Chain A
Amino acid sequence: MMNNIYSCGENAITSLGFTVEENTEQIKKDITGVGLVQDKSLFPEDFYASLISTQRLENEFSALANPDEYTRFEKLLILSAQNALKQNPRIDTSSNKTVFVISTTKGNIDLLEEKQKGRFEPDRIFMWKSAQLVAQFFGNKNKPVVVSNACISGVLAISAAREMLKAGYYDNAVVIGGDIASEFVVSGFQSFKSLSFGPCKPFDLNRDGLNLGEGAGTVILTNKLENLNDHTPVLVLAGACNNDANHISGPSRTGEGLFLAVTRTMKQSGIQAHEIDFISAHGTATSFNDEMESKAFSSAGLSNVPLNSLKGFFGHTLGAAGIIESAISIQGMRQDILFNTLGYKDYGVPEKITIVNKLTHKVQKNILKTASGFGGCNAAIIFSKQ
């Protein structure tokens, strides 16, 4: 059994940038990547979302491989992993002790569109196929592990990878999350009337829904000290996942599932509520989600822990969210800063939580990341600075 599991390389690709540094530079200036989208191929009406520059994606990917041979989703995953691996050349992706873990909600779903028919082979619609291609790209022969569990996929993927390394099945895990903006997903969320009419406002009194975002993120895990790079080592402590057992699309009104995930994560990690320095919440800015989170966090004794949501900066990136937001929060922990909850102005949730409403200096030793999703699922994980 291996003792410590470390995060030894991170990446985030969003509308704000193609590295964690690029993203945090914009975040520190309160610059958002959410904007008005007037693209009838995505939705008949104008809507607010966070989209990645296709031109930049194609250009950067061209340096790695032929962009015509990969889908948008695959390009995002590969570029994200490549950028993270660049930070840590010690990781041997071709080793059989390295595994790829992919997190996504809908993968190549845009291939169902009429205009995409025949562009790729039929199997390409399946996530296992994309995952195989990504692992192969990096010379890895192990079967990739693909997690598809709604919006908690990212946190779940990091947690599952952590456990596989702790149990000694592998030494390293390249955990990549990604989801694209597609007409499929935009129209679906619109049918739920859950899209905001402007940039989203997490935890705000006047919040009116979420913004969709496309993105990819990578977290590289290792159980080998010699694989750490020069960044301050960050430990990945335990994670947990619990179900609300209440409704398939609405969160529990009591927040029970998230409460269980958070308290069990703290227990498994040996960290108590008063030792948590910061919470990177899910904060999608829908009426019910944010309300539920306030209930769960306050029930878990975390009312006074500074908490933020990053979704005002680059929207809800679905299968990538847990990984992108972990990557950025880990960076915040390394730099002793808490990022703003862009879009938040007036307190709008029933229970007491402490919302970070500006860039703040704070030394952090333990941070909690949470996510919640359709199907009543909730996940949490703790990262710790040595």
Chain B
Amino acid sequence: MLITKTVQIYPDHILENDDVIFRAEEPVDPNDFLKTAFRQLCPPYPKFFKMDKLSKLAFLGSEILLRDAILPTKYNKDETGLVFLNASSTIEIDKDHQNTINSRENYFPSPSVFVYTLPNIMLGEICIKNQIFGENAVYISEKFDTGLLYQQVKILFDTCRLKACITGWSEINGDNYEVFLMLVESDQAVDNSKEKCNFDPENIEKLYKR
């Protein structure tokens, strides 16, 4: 198994492998940061603007991760999956939903807010855009857990349920947010010219801390 690409999103910059591809000039609101980055880096996709911040983060990360990958031609649609770790679930949009029901006088729960109050929706959005039908899972962990991620992804490859996996960490809590995504592929499918390293806990840690 090989890590063939990584993407990292921080409150002030975005990395594609080793390269900084976007930087915020000064501290910005997470929503503004994500929308500006998306408009600059990705092809138009109106649904992006309906997503909550967690899904925007994950989606933006995946768009950059997959933009030169040729997953559809390499793998069957059910051979690519997603395994994400997250700490705060959907706390940001949860608070928004709670606000719509706090007052009986102004009681208007909104389906487009409520639907995002599940952490796996970010996976659903990525699947829809990329027509990915494979294994999906979200694990909740206080911090990014290399061991857990490695274990769960390895199991899916070892049991022949996946040949490619978008995996990593997507998390937002207030103004703190972070995305670390890896594209992991089975050895046979990757050609020699691509930038890659072994998918193992040591390499995952090294890349995460970059």
Contact = CB atoms under 8 A, between A and B. Distances in A.
Do A and B have CB atoms closer than 8 angstroms in the complex? yes
A377 interface: yes
Contacts of B104: 44
Given A109-B94, A128-B87, A375-B120, A147 B101 contact: no
A167 B155 CA distance: 8
A143 B85 CA distance: 14
B109 A187 contact: yes
B117 A163 contact: no
Contacts of B204: none
Contacts, number: 158
A145 interface: yes
Interface stretch (B10-18, B33-41, B131-139): B131-139
A248 B107 contact: no
Contacts of B24: none
Contacts of B124: 243, 248, 374-377
Given A248-B128, A375-B124, A148 B133 contact: no
Contacts of A183: 101
Contact of A245 (B133, B152, B155): B133
Interface string B40-64: 0000000000000000000000000
B146 interface: no
- Among B87, B98, B114, B136, residue most surrounded by chain A Cβ atoms (within 10 Å): B136
Contact of A241 (B111, B137, B151): B137
Contact of B137 (A126, A129, A149, A188): A149
A112 B95 contact: yes
Interface string A170-206: 0000000000000110011111100000000000000
A242 B77 CA distance: 10
B177 to A, nearest CB: 15
A245 B142 CA distance: 29
A240 B135 CA distance: 7
Contacts of A376: 124, 127-128
Interface string A141-174: 0010111111000001000100110010100000
B90 to A, nearest CB: 9
Given A106-B117, A374-B124, A184 B138 contact: no
A257 B131 CA distance: 11
A346 to B, nearest CB: 29
Interface string B74-105: 00011000000001110100110110111010
A266 B14 CA distance: 42
A374 B125 CA distance: 11
Given A374-B124, A375-B120, A160 B137 contact: yes
B159 A125 contact: no
B101 A184 contact: yes
Nearest to A107: B89
Interface residues of A, number: 57
A246 to B, nearest CB: 7
B133 A257 contact: yes
A126 B128 contact: no
Given A148-B140, A268-B161, A377-B136, A112 B121 contact: no
Contacts of B91: 125-126
A243 B127 contact: yes
B127 to A, nearest CB: 4
B115 interface: yes
Nearest to A188: B114
B158 interface: yes
A128 B140 CA distance: 6
A112 B98 contact: yes
Contacts of A131: 140
A264 interface: yes
Contacts of A169: 151
B20 interface: no
Given A188-B109, A191-B111, A192-B111, A374 B118 contact: yes
Contacts of A119: none
Contacts of B87: 126, 128
Contacts of A107: 89
- Nearest first, the 8 closest Cβ-Cβ pairs linking A and B are A375-B124, A188-B114, A146-B140, A191-B109, A187-B109, A243-B127, A245-B127, A375-B120
Given A160-B152, A260-B78, 20 more contacts: A106-B89, A112-B94, A113-B98, A146-B139, A148-B89, A148-B139, A148-B140, A149-B119, A163-B155, A192-B114, A192-B115, A242-B136, A243-B124, A244-B133, A245-B132, A247-B128, A249-B111, A264-B161, A374-B118, A375-B124
Interface of B: 77-78, 87-89, 91, 94-95, 97-98, 100-102, 104, 107, 109-111, 114-115, 117-121, 123-125, 127-128, 130-142, 145, 148, 151-152, 155, 158-159, 161
Interface of A: 44, 105-107, 109, 112-114, 125-129, 131-132, 143, 145-150, 156, 160, 163-164, 167, 169, 183-184, 187-192, 238, 240-249, 256-257, 260, 264, 268, 373-377
